[in-house]
Structure 1
Amino acid sequence: MRTIFQISLLFFLLFGCKSARDLVEAPATSPSKKPATFVITFGSCNKHDAENPYWDDILDARPDVWIWGGDNIYADTDDMAKMRAMYEAQRKVDGYAKLTKKVEVIGTWDDHDYGLNDGGAEFVKKRESQQIFLDFMGVADTSTRRNRDGVYAAHQYKVGHKTVKILVLDTRFFRSELTKDPTPDRRYRPSAYGEGTVLGEAQWQWLESELRNSNADFNILVTSIQFLSSEHGFEKWANFPHEVDRMKKLIVDSKAQGVLFLSGDRHISEFSKMNLGGLSYPLIDFTSSGLTHSYADFSGEPNSLRVGEVVSQTSFGLVTLDLENHSAFFQIMGENGTVLQALSQQY
């Protein structure tokens, strides 16, 4: 069934949607090769009390995993009873409840489900919020994740003799205060180089160990905020430029294979891509946002690393990894199997 689904999507992409076809920068895998595949679906910015239109479409994609990219609910509260009730309401959304019975669910949080808009280390209820988040994710009470700060985690999947590692990052629990930008229409500007952190030292040490010791064919980094897009005035890794440089250096020095980013937060979906010295393939950041609401009146913003155009309607992300040929096929998905944009990359 998965092969049939992939063939039909590829046929649609090549012959039925010009804008998507024009964005494919490398040949899609030939279906006749029948490679081992691993299918990831992900998304962010989801309101439990709004229409949740995509869960049936996500199930139709027959994913191996669903990844929450953050803002999984919109709580914005230090009232933990209110937050827990919202998570419980989301858990009972009919389509999502069906998904959780058939597909493994993992993920991270962002500011609105963390509890504080644009919040970071200063949020006073972050430890209480973490436990409620782990409950929602179905993390066992005996897990070591219950006793450490932050929701970061490593997940590894075997497909025959191939391996996919998904490293879910926490860009909230340890993140330093942001620097306000006095310029109109810009919320934040980069901090002074060397000041502040996104991940915090404990999480950095964990990530370095995971990448340096990884034998996976693909290493997926899930970050709630964008990593590559650096020119807009909102939350992003580039608000801490030294942390961006540290990540780039780690990716190169670790020699981990097939590193790519999945991100959310922005209420738009887009592909960003850059060549990184010392890396044999381009670095891609696939932003998918949002699931229930989006930046519908988006009028443009600079991103010199963008491939294609911004998708400002609701959507979810679909990533098909061809583990035999070491390639990835990225798709921004609308309802009923509509491919809004696509990108292919050889690794």
Structure 2
Amino acid sequence: MKKFIFLSLSLIFLSCKTTQKPSEDDLFKIAFGSCNLQDKDQSYWELIGSENPDAFIWGGDNIYADTEDMDEMERMYAQQKTNAYYQKFIYQLDNKVYGTWDDHDYGLNDGGVNWEYKDQSQQLLLDFLDVEDSERRNRKGIYSSEIIKVKGHEIKVIILDTRYFRSDLQKSSNQSKRYKASQDAELTLLGEKQWKWLDEELKESNADYHLIVSSIQVLSHQHGFETWGNFPSEVEKLENLLVKRQVKNPLILSGDRHISEFSQKEIEGLDVPLTDFTSSGLTHAYTGFSGEENEYRVGKVVPKISYGLIEFDFENNQLLLEIKSTKNNKQLQKLVLQMK
């Protein structure tokens, strides 16, 4: 197990070997974020753009629609997509915009498999992401994968859909928590078809890095809101699959919570700890946050508006994860991962 060093202003994970700081040209950057109210100030895209990211990933709640009126949802997507700040930002990217949905852009708060308008909503999200006519247009659910090839390395971006197939959540009798974990192994988060697809994607992958995008947190499970932890059998299934397919350098990206944080879990059979980088939200945050349990938390919770930035240092095989303010671009917390 690697030894870690804590510094007071930020959290840094380093291996024992000495590394040289790479030049800006040697880095590859991916920005990501979630929870974006389209009616709020969008000038923060200039701050993200100042980091010169090569790609951007939407983590869900890309707009706040919560409506059965698909014409109204289309109008909201258009409002976001045509925003001058956003347009300027996506124009500068070398790679396209990737993304998943969460509940508010799905159309129903905490919605799952029974949402009546999910197929119409899916097409609107694909329009927003400029997905051309392809199998994704005919597939049930918005899960997909992309390979980014850069400097002789491959980054596989795996977009999961935690809405379209998700079984009903179990209400908690604890007044401080909305939902509770269900021990019913028949309940599902991803659904049979998506699980089969994910297995094939990981089985056939030769990528050097795997970014797994989940709109809800995977590791943090004690807060009583939406989380993979409400489906313990699905968490176990994912962990077992990562080990079975010997997935190289996995990193989970999540959103939803209106807080940002790092979570990390040692999983026997994986070469590196499994890290869940939660970034939420871009335009609003849980400013009244007073604390919650997370046995896997690394560092502190950041209850401020922010986005996530991942810097790939291929020479030293390290990832720099940064939580950065969408107010002033200040670094709020960071984590360095030594990959294999």
- Separation in structure 2 between the aligned mates of residue 254 and residue 304 of structure 1, nearest angstrom: 26
2:159 aligned with 1:171, yes or no? no
C-alpha distance 131-32 of structure 1, shift in aligned 2 (>3 A): closer
Q: Is the partner of 2:309 in helix, strand or coil?
A: strand
Give 1:18 shift. 4.4
Give 1:213 shift. 1.1
Give 1:19 shift. 1.7
Query: 1:132 maps to which residue?
Result: 124
The partner residue of 2:335 within 321, 338, 343 is 343
The farther-off stretch of 74-83 and 45-54 is: 45-54
The one-letter amino acid paired with 1:168 is I
- Separation in structure 2 between the aligned mates of residue 273 and residue 241 of structure 1, nearest angstrom: 17
Q: Could you list the runs of 5+ residues in structure 1 that have no partner in the other structure?
A: 1-16
Q: Tell me if the contact between 1:35 and 1:322 (Cα under 8 Å) persists in the aligned partners.
A: no
Give 1:34 shift. 7.4
- Normalized per residue, the structure richer in helix is 1
Q: Tell me if the contact between 1:29 and 1:322 (Cα under 8 Å) persists in the aligned partners.
A: no
The partner residue of 2:65 within 75, 78, 83 is 75
- Separation in structure 2 between the aligned mates of residue 264 and residue 29 of structure 1, nearest angstrom: 31
- Separation in structure 2 between the aligned mates of residue 231 and residue 172 of structure 1, nearest angstrom: 20
TM alignment of 1:13-162, pairs within 5 A:
18-20=8-10, 23-26=11-14, 30-32=20-22, 36-103=26-93, 104-140=96-132, 142-162=133-153
The one-letter amino acid paired with 1:343 is L
Q: Could you list the runs of 5+ residues in structure 2 that have no partner in the other structure?
A: 1-6
- Separation in structure 1 between the aligned mates of residue 89 and residue 127 of structure 2, nearest angstrom: 17
Q: Share of identical aligned residues, percent?
A: 49
TM alignment of 1:134-283, pairs within 5 A:
134-140=126-132, 142-283=133-274
The one-letter amino acid paired with 1:94 is A
Give 1:35 shift. 8.1
Give 1:297 shift. 0.5
Query: 2:275 maps to which residue?
Result: 284
User: TM-score normalized by structure 2?
Assistant: 0.93
- Separation in structure 2 between the aligned mates of residue 310 and residue 94 of structure 1, nearest angstrom: 32
Q: Tell me if the contact between 2:22 and 2:313 (Cα under 8 Å) persists in the aligned partners.
A: no
Query: 1:328 maps to which residue?
Result: 319
Query: 1:312 maps to which residue?
Result: 303
Residues 47-82 of structure 1: CA deviation (Å, up to 9, x unaligned): 110112420111111111100000000000111001
Q: Tell me if the contact between 1:39 and 1:63 (Cα under 8 Å) persists in the aligned partners.
A: yes
Q: Tell me if the contact between 1:35 and 1:325 (Cα under 8 Å) persists in the aligned partners.
A: no
User: TM-score normalized by structure 1?
Assistant: 0.92
The farther-off stretch of 34-43 and 185-194 is: 34-43
Give 1:143 shift. 1.3
Residues 234-262 of structure 1: CA deviation (Å, up to 9, x unaligned): 00001000000000001011112110100
Give 1:32 shift. 4.8
Q: Is the partner of 1:337 in helix, strand or coil?
A: coil
- Separation in structure 2 between the aligned mates of residue 168 and residue 79 of structure 1, nearest angstrom: 26
Q: CA RMSD in A?
A: 1.5
The one-letter amino acid paired with 2:159 is V
